[in-house]
């Protein structure tokens, strides 16, 4: 943000002005770096060069102002070169401009420097804890602030991608696409050092709900042949830390067409099922882990086994 209040004063020695020349004036330079502030761009110092007049480093921020004020310039046109460096001394931004100094004027010039450095960022993504295949995501759109880039979801052997971007601190906005439509969204804060590699992970949340639908058999047999009257289901959402969020058990008639759970958040679910005989005893059981993809109804045929859960 440009705040023209207090400036660093750099005294410039000028050649003696002949009689009749206009009075000297000040020249102020306010800088940004690809539209970013000093902090966001990771710039520590700026080297200011005005041939024959100024050649020195100044802090990127001084007195709360991101810029410099130079004094006692004779009116005229000047070539200004600016080179920005990070705290490690790496040049990260550079630009030049011709400026006009007018007597009796503030002579404030805003300069947006262009990056000279690059950062390599590897993003690894998941979708409510699911892989690209499980979440049925075919493309991922990433925007580091300079416009979106779309890549395949599963590339170079992993669910992620490698990106070249300008260095600095920023938020990467990430979307998971299926057939061109956004079905997952997320963001991750990135601090990408110049001329270096960094890796970040982001887990995206589903933008729409999913569903689970079950058909059942019992050791390969249908309800009557297996003497099963009812089927009991309990769904548990598997959290990122491995814990489970339990839901209430639901009981269905075995002869029903199956069971369906709607409006489920995308993620991984543990399913514990029991086949209950006419006597009320549990005669078959099974445990399963199933992925619920955003916007997808997963139909699963489960075969419960006699005795303990599997």
* 185-235 tens-digit pLDDT: 999 999 998 788 999 999 999 999 999 999 999 999 999 999 999 999 999
Say if 3 falls within a structural domain.
no
DSSP, collapsed to helix, strand or coil, labels residue 135 as helix
Question: For residue 263, what pLDDT is reported?
Answer: 95
CATH number at residue 163: 2.60.40.2100
What mean pLDDT comes out for the span 122-126? Answer: 96
Say if 68 falls within a structural domain.
yes
Question: What tens digit of pLDDT does each residue of 32-65 get?
Answer: 998 999 999 899 999 999 999 999 999 999 889 9
Please indicate, yes or no, whether residues 267 and 220 belong to a single structural domain of this protein.
Answer: yes
Please indicate, yes or no, whether residues 171 and 239 belong to a single structural domain of this protein.
Answer: no
Say if 89 falls within a structural domain.
yes
Instruction: Tell me whether residue 280 is exposed, middle or buried, using C-beta atoms within 10 angstroms of its C-beta: 0 to 12, 13 to 18, 19 or more.
Output: exposed
Of 88, 115, 142, the one marking the end of a domain is 115
Question: For residue 15, what pLDDT is reported?
Answer: 37
Q: Residue 299: pLDDT above 50?
A: yes
Share the mean pLDDT of the chain. 89
Say if 251 falls within a structural domain.
yes
Please indicate, yes or no, whether residues 82 and 172 belong to a single structural domain of this protein.
Answer: no
Say if 237 falls within a structural domain.
yes
> What does each C-alpha distance from 48 to 12, 108, 178, 253 come to in angstroms?
12, 15, 49, 81
Of 115, 149, 170, the one marking the end of a domain is 115
Please indicate, yes or no, whether residues 98 and 174 belong to a single structural domain of this protein.
Answer: no
Of 206, 228, 263, the one marking the end of a domain is 206
State the Cα–Cα distance between residues 172 and 153, nearest whole angstrom. Answer: 16
pLDDT band at 77 (very low <50, low <70, confident <90, very high): very high
Are 113 and 92 spatial neighbours (Cβ–Cβ below 8 Å)? Answer: no
Question: For residue 194, what pLDDT is reported?
Answer: 76
Please indicate, yes or no, whether residues 286 and 215 belong to a single structural domain of this protein.
Answer: yes
Question: For residue 116, what pLDDT is reported?
Answer: 87
Please indicate, yes or no, whether residues 44 and 140 belong to a single structural domain of this protein.
Answer: no
CATH number at residue 19: 2.60.40.10
Please indicate, yes or no, whether residues 86 and 19 belong to a single structural domain of this protein.
Answer: yes
Q: Residue 105: pLDDT above 90?
A: no
Q: Is the dihedral of CA 127, 133, 137, 138 positive or negative?
A: positive
State the Cα–Cα distance between residues 70 and 60, nearest whole angstrom. Answer: 14
pLDDT band at 257 (very low <50, low <70, confident <90, very high): confident
Say if 1 falls within a structural domain.
no
Question: For residue 68, what pLDDT is reported?
Answer: 95
Please indicate, yes or no, whether residues 16 and 106 belong to a single structural domain of this protein.
Answer: yes
Q: Residue 20: pLDDT above 60?
A: no
Place of tokens 């969204």: 185
- For 172-202, letters b (16+ CB in 10 Å) and e give bbbbbbbeeeebbbbebebebbbeeeeebeb
Please indicate, yes or no, whether residues 102 and 131 belong to a single structural domain of this protein.
Answer: no
Beta bridge partners of 76: 101
Phi, psi of 18, rounded to the nearest 5 degrees: -75, 165
Count the domains in the chain.
Answer: 3
Supply the range of the domain harboring residue 286: 210-306
């Amino acid at each position: 943000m440009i705040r023209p209040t207090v400036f660093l004063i750099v005294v410039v020695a000028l050649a003696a002005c002949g009689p009749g020349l206009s009075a000297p004036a000040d020249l102020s330079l306010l800088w940004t770096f690809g539209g970013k502030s000093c902090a966001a761009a990771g710039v520590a110092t700026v080297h200011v060069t005005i041939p024959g007049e100024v050649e020195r480093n100044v802090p990127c921020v001084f007195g709360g102002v991101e810029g410099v004020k130079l004094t006692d310039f004779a009116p005229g046109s000047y070539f200004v070169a600016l080179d920005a460096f990070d705290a490690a001394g790496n040049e990260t931004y550079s630009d030049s401009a011709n400026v006009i100094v007018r007597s009796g004027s503030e002579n404030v010039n805003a300069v947006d420097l262009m990056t000279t450095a690059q950062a390599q960022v590897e993003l690894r993504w998941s979708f409510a804890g699911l892989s690209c295949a499980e979440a049925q995501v075919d493309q991922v759109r990433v925007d580091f602030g300079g416009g979106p880039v779309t890549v395949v979801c599963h590339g170079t052997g992993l669910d992620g991608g490698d990106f070249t971007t300008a260095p600095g601190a920023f938020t990467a906005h990430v979307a998971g696409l299926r057939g061109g439509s956004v079905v997952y969204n997320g963001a991750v804060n990135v601090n990408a050092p110049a001329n270096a590699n960094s890796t970040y992970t982001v887990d995206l949340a589903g933008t729409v709900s999913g569903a689970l639908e079950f058909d059942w058999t019992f050791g390969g047999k249908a309800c009557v042949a297996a003497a099963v009257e009812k089927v009991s289901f309990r769904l548990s959402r598997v959290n990122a830390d491995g814990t489970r969020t339990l839901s209430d058990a639901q009981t269905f008639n075995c002869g029903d067409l199956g069971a369906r759970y709607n409006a489920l958040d995308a993620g991984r679910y543990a399913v514990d099922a029991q086949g209950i005989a006419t006597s009320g005893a549990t005669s078959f059981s099974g445990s399963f882990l199933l992925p619920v993809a955003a916007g997808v109804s997963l139909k699963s045929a489960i075969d419960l086994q006699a005795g303990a859960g599997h």
